[in-house]
Amino acid sequence: MDGYLLDTNTIRHWFDGDSGKFPAVRAVADSRAADSPMYVSAISLGEIEYGHALNPAPADTRRAAFVTFVREKLRQILSVSKHTAEPYGLIRAELAEKSPPPGGWKNKVRPEQMYDPVAGRELGIDENDLWLAAQAVERNLVLVTSDKMARVREAVQEVFPSFRSENWAASSR
């Protein structure tokens, strides 16, 4: 399978006309839509629903507009499957091997336990990013992200050299 897996921030920039990154993301998305399919992960949809739930006052109208947007632009929603498990495990193990927690592993088994929560976020280690990268590997998709997930990308590239990622919002900086 070829195509693009768009992460939450990319979708937000594409959907949100008020975003400073909207023009760049829309231009690339529009140019790629004719050639390759674009996918959204159920994980990203969950993150977006979480955002709507946190902001309930205007969320009903915004949520309805977002649902319409997804139906029109991102009709293919990917679920995490049993086939996602292997690349996820290999990527996570690579991260763990390259970034052991201070004081060693002992009982720490999750990437976010390697460092205190602030440092983990600053390092770009996020559980949902790992799952999205695994879905992209599993389905041979280009992961489109504007997140600062350099450590995750490096780990994925180490285990899966054919992994590709793009930042469609980069040209708006």
Asked if the model's pLDDT at residue 111 lies above 70, the reply is no
Cβ proximity of 171 and 165 under 8 Å:
no
Mean of the per-residue pLDDT values for the chain?
82
Per-residue confidence (pLDDT) for residue 122, from 0 to 100: 39
Among 24-28, 70-74, 99-103, top mean pLDDT goes to 24-28
135-173 tens-digit pLDDT:
999 999 999 998 777 778 888 999 999 999 999 988 644
Q: What is the pLDDT of residue 118?
A: 36
Cα(35)–Cα(88) distance, integer angstroms = 28
Lowest-pLDDT range of 17-26, 102-111, 142-151: 102-111
Q: What is the mean pLDDT of residues 23-40?
A: 89
**Does residue 7 carry a pLDDT above 90?**
yes
Q: From start to end of 70-159, where are the E strands? A: 76-78, 142-144
Per the confidence metrics, is the pTM higher than 0.85?
no
CATH number of the domain within which 159 lies? 3.40.50.1010
**Count of domains in the chain?**
1
Residue 144 pLDDT: 94
Full residue range of the structural domain in which residue 101 is found: 4-172
Pick 153 or 124 by higher pLDDT: 153
Distance between CA 1 and CA 36 in Å, rounded?
10
Place of tokens 């949809």: 45
